[in-house]
């Protein structure tokens, strides 16, 4: 499939967001994935691509409902991204592995931020349970349903999906989630009820 001009124009966006996720420790060297919807197509990161140093060859263009020759190169979570675009108004998806958020996903049923910024932007972040052997593509419909009602969701023991109209905004939601979870984790370590009002 011939690359359309927008793909090259958005390379810098993918690079900025990917580098931000990596430098803030929200993805490992080859973890996470990013995508943007372009009409009936989407542009998604290559499977195993290092988000901290994305190059043009790390972007794969394929159909939302149809495969192309490039489809086998796309991230292993392609079907989740496709399902989100088919069932929501999202134009960008960020999938990351924020450590404090993932840690809390083992002990919480949902994340309710206790900081002002988190509470304003992400009043409630649902946590979807999944068996270790279940592939994310098998949860694609449920992920899309939840992400249609919330800006961000967590998959227990795995990571987060954030959506928006802009890639940078979905990245911002991921950062806000992790900051809120880090604060919640620290408060619990201090034996402070995260839901209590500050003194």
Q: Where residue 37 sits, what CATH number does that domain have?
A: 3.40.225.10
What's the rounded mean pLDDT across residues 45-52?
A: 94
Residue 93's domain comprises 5-189
Report the distance separating Cα 165 and Cα 184, nearest Å.
28
Instruction: Please check the confidence at residue 132 and state whether its pLDDT lies above 60.
Output: no
13 to 21, 34, 36, 51, 106: CA distances (angstroms) = 12, 10, 10, 12, 32
Average pLDDT, the chain: 91
Total number of domains constituting the chain: 1
Q: Does residue 169 sit within a domain? A: yes
> Residue 43 falls within a domain, yes or no?
yes
The larger pLDDT score, comparing residue 123 to residue 135, is at 123
Local confidence band at 193 (pLDDT 50, 70, 90 cut-offs): confident
* Residue 197 within a domain: no
Q: How confident is the model at residue 88 (pLDDT cuts 50, 70, 90)?
A: very high
3-class secondary-structure state, position 188: helix
CB proximity list for 56: less than 8 A, separation 6 or greater: 8, 11
Q: What is the pTM of this model?
A: 0.91
What is the average pLDDT across 33-48? Answer: 95
Report if residue 198 sits inside a domain: no
């Amino acid at each position: 499939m011939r690359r359309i001009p927008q793909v090259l124009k958005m390379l810098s966006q993918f690079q900025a967001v990917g580098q931000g996720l990596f430098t803030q420790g929200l993805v490992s060297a080859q973890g996470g994935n990013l995508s943007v919807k372009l009409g009936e197509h989407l542009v998604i990161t290559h499977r195993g691509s290092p988000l901290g140093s994305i190059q043009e060859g790390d972007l794969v263009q394929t159909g939302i409902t149809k495969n192309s020759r490039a489809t086998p190169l796309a991230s292993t979570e392609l079907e989740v991204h496709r399902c989100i675009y088919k069932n929501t108004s999202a134009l960008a998806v960020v999938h990351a592995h924020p450590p404090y958020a993932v840690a809390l996903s083992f002990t919480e049923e949902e994340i309710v931020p206790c900081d002002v910024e988190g509470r304003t932007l992400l009043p409630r972040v649902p946590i979807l349970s999944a068996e270790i052997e279940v592939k994310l593509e098998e949860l694609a419909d449920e992920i899309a349903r939840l992400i249609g009602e919330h800006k961000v969701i967590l998959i227990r023991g795995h990571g987060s999906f954030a959506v928006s109209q802009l890639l940078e905004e979905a990245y911002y939601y991921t950062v806000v989630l992790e900051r809120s979870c880090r604060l919640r984790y620290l408060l619990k370590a201090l034996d402070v009820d995260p839901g209590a009002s500050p003194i």
